[in-house]
Structure 1
Amino acid sequence: MSFSKSSEKLTLQQVLIFGGLMVTFSMGIRHGFGLFNLPITSANGWGRETFALTIALQNLIWGVVQPITGALADRYGSLKIMVAGGVLYALGLAGMALSTDALNFTLTGGLLIGLAQTATTYSVVYGILGRNVAAEKRVWAMGIAAAAGSFGQFLMIPVEQGLLSNFGANDALLILALMASLMIPIAFMLREPVITNAHPGNNQTIKEALKEAMGNPSFRLLTLGYFVCGFQVVFIAVHLAPYLKDLSTIYPSVGAPVVATTALALIGLFNIFGTYSAGMLGQHFPKRYLLSGIYIFRSIAIMGFIWLPLSPATTYIFAAIMGFLWLSTIPLTNAIVAQIFGVKYLSMLSGLVFFSHQLGSFCGAYFGGYLFDRTGSYLIVWNIAIALGFFAFLVNLPVKERAIHRAVTA
């Protein structure tokens, strides 16, 4: 296997392998945080709102800082950004393990890991991909990278459940911190060469790029739809396991930890196929229609899940359907951003639209815990997730997938 030298672009093979590994660890580890909800809150005597606030803050920090991290990666290169992300990820997990009070737990699990995720997930990796992969292969390659993150989710769920069962929550987090540190050497395999005039004819500044994006109606519609994506997936990731445990008084068969673990693993497994399919279909069909379809089918799946009698079988079917639709929005949304605005500021603009996703993630994680602690039920939040899916279906339909034509400058 041969990789590019410093004077050349990264090869497609290199970007897909090591970019895929980066998001495998980053997305995979975070996907299992819901398994730690009950063990940590029970051991420390905290309400679910405390754990929910930590994950909500993590997602909010991720969203708020992502455009800044993306802009830095676009301007100075991604290597230092990703290395810093790997360090912060490991420190955050270790801090969660060693925290004995809610404030420290929230700061390490929320602030540090939130910052780490800005540097190790899709926006930065897609920026590398956009700069090194031909336009005709871009949406396919984004689907491959997203599928790698999906594989990480599938892989890490049984790993994290095994660590919890054998070592307890604190030691499991310390082991995950060691695993997160592997992102540091992976970052060096994604070192981009310094290429001058990489975007000939485009002397656009960051300020101009931001103004252009914020004034574009399609960008604003994508941003609104992405809020819904974040709300739905993070609410389910964080609160599905407690939801099943709560309903085990009515449906005893769903209360075993293996049911929640299997469901989350199935989400990761089917997510592989969903994200890859989204990348493939996005090369041949309008991406806005694919996005609208994803959101409407999510709402239908949620309605079936909460309205039908609950069992391990219906839980697994729901997980498989949601898994197929889980991160399929990511390659499609980022490909539209690249198609409209080009790749010069792709990490920054992807981060900007992702900010809305993380606002939704914050709301899904936090209000899931907040409303449960006050009502004793997740029903209100499930219904909000359904209504938001119909909203996202509508707002994606008018998106225009046309490149902006700028005056060419010397």
Structure 2
Amino acid sequence: MIPRVSETELSRRLKVLRDRAAASGAQAALLTSPVSIFYFTNLSFITTERPVALIVPVDGEPFAVLPSVEKGHAEYRNSKWGGVVRRFEYYFDYPGDVHVANLIADAIASSDVRSVMGEPLGPKGAYGYSGPPLQELLAKRDVKWIDMGDLVAEMRLVKSEEEVSLIEESGRWASRAVDVARGLMEPGKWDWEVSLQASLEISKEMNDVYRPYVPLRGAVGWAVGFRGQVGEFSAFPHALVAERPMRDGDVIGIGSGPEIGGYFAELERTLILGEPSAEVRELFDKMLKVREAAAEALGPGVKASEVDAAMRRRAKELGVENLLRHHTGHGLGLEEHEPPFLDVGISEVLRPGMVVTVEPGLYVPGLGGFRHSDTFLITEGGARRLTSYPEDIDKLKVKR
């Protein structure tokens, strides 16, 4: 069976949305973010510049306004993955003779909705939507606009059991993917070469298990990779490409977290191709200690800022504070980076059900970067790791 959030879970979310809309005085909720729409429907689209909209009446069935490139496709996916959308309306293309924002406003007004609680930015696509503000268009149709604010983001902060299960499943495949990639690494290989070969093998394995493997929000493809973090290039936390093949002695960053039912885990490890030098061992050990301080600080009732502060204190004690390039970690789930962010500037209190990464790193120009990342679930009693892979340097050597 293809993993996904159940229809029961989608119905629960829609009830919360309707209740909040009613409490605000609205007769319907309007969602225009593709991620938000997926959260409530299991439906995902290639939005490009073309806006999509989901209208959820408080006392009615959800309906969607979509570009006609989705005609038939939307109904098919709706029948397969959730079935919560009861009606689809289509516009030909963006912006059209009559701008699509007017069509969305007409769809709302013609449904006898006189007040709507909407997402802050109105309809938008991924590639540069521009047009008249939806709030103004609704006002001309005697429909009151109520800003939804961060309601959906707040709902997504605490994960349900189903969401945690999907994230944990992603973590299990991530561990397997790293194993496969390690088996392909050797001096002279390019990072993209290993990534493509390993991703193909893992995709085949996932396809055999799920029959078929279907990412609900993307396409089958990348499963494990290096993102250019090979040797001296791994000293750049967000390196994009390595301009040379792998060499003996390289510090190499690797990561994985395949999409499962729309959700992601994050597993990253620092590997050593061959035998590590004394300097590499020392830095690796300090990275583990900095990481341990952050992980030990996790728990319910703890502020995100306190976790990051604990990590920074340990880095300062070890004399490597100057090698930090980013905060401790971030939330994840439907997006690979989402709140809460484990940063000294975030006062958000961690609660059971929140899912975060712990991934402080040390970066040495010309040598490499040292970072492990694992995904953690905040629990009533502390935190539970959702990803699992060896951490010690001698278990992460790649020998040839």
Q: TM-score, normalised by structure 1?
A: 0.25
Greater Rg by CA:
2
Decide which structure has greater strand share: 2
Higher relative contact order structure (alpha carbons within 8 Å, sequence separation ≥ 6): 1
